[in-house]
Amino acid sequence: MAIDFLEELRWRGLLHQCTDEPALRAHLADPENHPRKAYAGFDPTADSLTIGNLVPIMVLVHFARAGHTPVVLMGGGTGLIGDPSGKSAERPLQTEKTVREFVRAQKPIYENVFKGAAAYCNAKIPTPRILNNLDWLDKLGYIEVLRDVGKFFSVNEMIQRDSVRDRLNNREQGISYTEFSYAILQAYDFLHLSRGEGVTIQAGGSDQWGNIVAGTKLIRQHEMCFASDLIRGEDMAGPIDNPPSMEEIEAADWRADHAFGLTAPLITKADGGKFGKTETGAIWLSAPRTTPYAYHQFWLNTADADAVRFLKTFTLLPKEEIERLANEVETNPGTREAQKTLAHHATALLHGREEAVACEQAARALFSGEIAALPESTLRAALAEVPSSDHPKANLEGEGVPLLDLLIETNLASSKRQAREFLAAGSVSINGRKVQGEQSVTIGDLLHGSLIAIRRGKKAWHLTRWS
């Protein structure tokens, strides 16, 4: 590559910690002849992922763009346990059925992001290999884990981790043995992927650093011990029935020397507010949870202080273009070109370019009030966050419903006197058409057979649904 891969991650704000940077740089240096495999794990705690989960997904996208092979590990097994990292109390345990459903619901998110990345790059980039750790964790026996994995973990070291130490010092919460054992399972995932899939790199958020390091240490110690046993021709249980080949010994040695971990920083906002949260709640990566329009608006409302940083992290725009937009933020912030570009590219990456364009059309229509020509799905998405109400469609027949009454019913006016004042001033519009005088809304005013949008002034909208 013309650009050092790790430096590209660092410039984009996606590299925080690394287990052995010089060795990792050399390990990644020749993707054409020696492509590497990198994975990130995601525990299914809901039927979608939040925008914070997009950071390690973007790291995998950059691995793919650099010619390496990305692996998504869905935590169908570890999700049954719960990671204590960053938690002040134990997560409620989910049923196996619930976790399976969460895994099923989340899978399209990874596929959509990589599909969007390939479309943006106008090139074929490796799609992620998507695995579920329940496939192997479910087959492990308790004695097997204690004997073959647990012996490589020092309790003294484990209780020094922030996620464990903080909970141990909190007498009210404490930490269960179940959660305490989570790190062992995550480390075993890395060992399993190293042996079975040839994965050499684990990526994650900075809150996962302790778990990631535990995985690299387990591989190193386990494989060195394994190689030593092979050379001696026996393990702790006695002689090995089938003597190993030299290739097996060399493979174990190679795996011991080639296990790396890196983390991306947790994303924060410049004003200290929590990233990915709005007044209406978390920003999710699936349309049923957060509509493409709401997703687009989230990025569009980014503060100037955050815009350039988010462009680096959440888009695939080249350095030259982002530097140009950074200059626009400094010299001409009123145009908000950086935010508009961020909103378009971030939305296109997750939901596709057509949705990104539709969101922009909807935003322009809401600003101008000319919404009548919008497709129904776009109209509903654009007005998804405004107040709404349901009404009997039969009331629109004949003479219809007096607009005077409807303004009061939808809280766009507090009294008939105020409603008359708004109408007389021409500050009320129906589906983008300004109205004056005491008229009624009828069947003929319906958009898409069921919707009437009322606006008072420039910003006060109300969507009425008629069925």
Q: pLDDT tens for residues 225-263?
A: 865 654 455 555 555 566 667 787 788 889 989 999 999
Cβ burial of 173 (10 Å; 0-12, 13-18, 19+) is middle
Q: How confident is the model at residue 333 (pLDDT cuts 50, 70, 90)?
A: very high
Is residue 102 within 8 A of residue 45, CB to CB? The reply is yes
Q: Cα–Cα distance between 193 and 214 in angstroms, integer?
A: 14
Whether 120 shows a pLDDT value over 80: the answer reads yes
Residue 394 DSSP symbol = G
Strands 451-456, 460-466: pairing kind: antiparallel
SS3 content of the chain, % helix, strand, coil (to 5): 50, 15, 35
**CATH fold label, 277-382:** Tyrosyl-Transfer RNA Synthetase (1.10.240)
Contact by Cβ (8 Å): 105, 79: no
Q: Which residues contact 265 (CB under 8 A, 6 or more apart)?
A: 13, 16, 205, 206
CATH of 5-264 among 3.30.56.10, 3.40.50.620, 3.40.50.12780, 1.10.640.10: 3.40.50.620
* Domain definitions of the chain by residue range: 5-264, 277-382, 388-466
Q: What is the pLDDT of residues 28-85, one digit of tens each?
A: 999 999 999 999 999 999 999 999 999 999 999 999 999 999 999 999 999 998 877 7
Instruction: Return the DSSP state at 51.
Output: G
Enter the tokens of residue 335: 């145009």
Strand 201-205 to 37-42 pairing: parallel
Domain spanning 388-466: CATH 3.10.290.10: yes
Reported confidence tier of residue 309, pLDDT bands at 50, 70, 90: very high
pTM of the complete model beyond 0.85: yes
